[in-house]
């Protein structure tokens, strides 16, 4: 009878060690997957913030490129050449993470279908505003990015007067 008790307690110990080992393996893989997903989401958010800062409308298709006009070879006096060359705009410093987090955005809709978000962007353009769609689903339609909440509130009030439902988001 003593041999059976030792065998069952040994099996119980093996089961416990196996259970603990499997738990640690699953926790480790969960950590790795979670870290990867958080990094991917942060990268997606940075891309959408950069495109909104540059005024890029995500939903608008690119306009077809027009052919360049033919070049004529008429001599231009050297004094005119120096005057006609436009100077490059000064490079703006890259915003710090603290600046980008402090932006107040005006959101005019959240849609589960991209076609509906595209229609909202078209309505904004018809009303004279730039609109952009943050990737989704859900597809968030936003216009304006302000460092001041007062400026964002002014735009919300202006949009509401024109029949849009608008809120401020950060």
Measure the CA–CA gap between 57 and 121, rounded to whole angstroms. Answer: 9
For residues 64 and 170, which has the higher predicted lDDT (pLDDT)? 170
Q: Is residue 113 part of a domain?
A: yes
Last residue of a domain, one of 56, 74, 89: 56
Domain CATH code at residue 121: 3.30.70.1070
Instruction: Report, in angstroms and rounded to the nearest whole number, the Rg of the chain calculated over CA atoms.
Output: 29
Q: Is residue 107 part of a domain?
A: yes
Q: What are the pLDDT digits (tens) for 109-167?
A: 999 999 999 999 999 999 999 999 987 788 999 998 889 999 999 999 999 998 999 99
Range of the domain at 152: 98-169
Do residues 105 and 144 touch, judged by C-beta distance below 8 A? yes
Q: Is residue 65 part of a domain?
A: no
> What SS3 class is residue 97?
helix
For residues 68-95, give the mean pLDDT. 46
Q: What are the pLDDT digits (tens) for 13-62?
A: 888 899 899 999 999 988 888 888 888 877 777 776 666 565 544 444 44
Q: Is the peptide bond before 145 cis (omega within 30 degrees of 0)?
A: no
Measure the CA–CA gap between 67 and 64, rounded to whole angstroms. Answer: 10
For residues 22 and 100, which has the higher predicted lDDT (pLDDT)? 22
Task: Output DSSP code: residue 55.
Answer: T
Count the domains in the chain.
Answer: 2
For residues 57-68, give the mean pLDDT. 46
Q: Is residue 142 part of a domain?
A: yes
């Amino acid at each position: 009878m003593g041999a059976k008790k030792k065998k069952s307690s040994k099996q119980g110990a093996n089961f416990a060690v196996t259970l603990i080992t499997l738990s640690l393996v699953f926790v480790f893989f969960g950590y790795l997957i979670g870290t990867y997903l958080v990094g991917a989401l942060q990268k997606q958010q940075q891309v959408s913030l950069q495109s909104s800062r540059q005024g890029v409308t995500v939903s608008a298709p690119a306009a077809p490129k027009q052919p360049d006009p033919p070049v004529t070879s008429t001599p231009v006096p050297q004094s005119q050449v120096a005057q006609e060359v436009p100077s490059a705009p000064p490079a703006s410093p890259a915003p710090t993470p603290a600046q980008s987090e402090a932006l107040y955005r005006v959101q005019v809709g959240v849609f589960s279908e991209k076609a509906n978000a595209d229609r909202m962007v078209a309505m904004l353009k018809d009303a004279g505003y730039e609109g952009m769609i943050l990737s989704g689903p859900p597809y968030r339609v936003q216009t304006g990015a302000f460092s001041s909440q007062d400026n964002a509130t002014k735009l919300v009030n202006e949009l509401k007067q024109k029949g849009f439902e608008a809120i401020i988001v950060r």
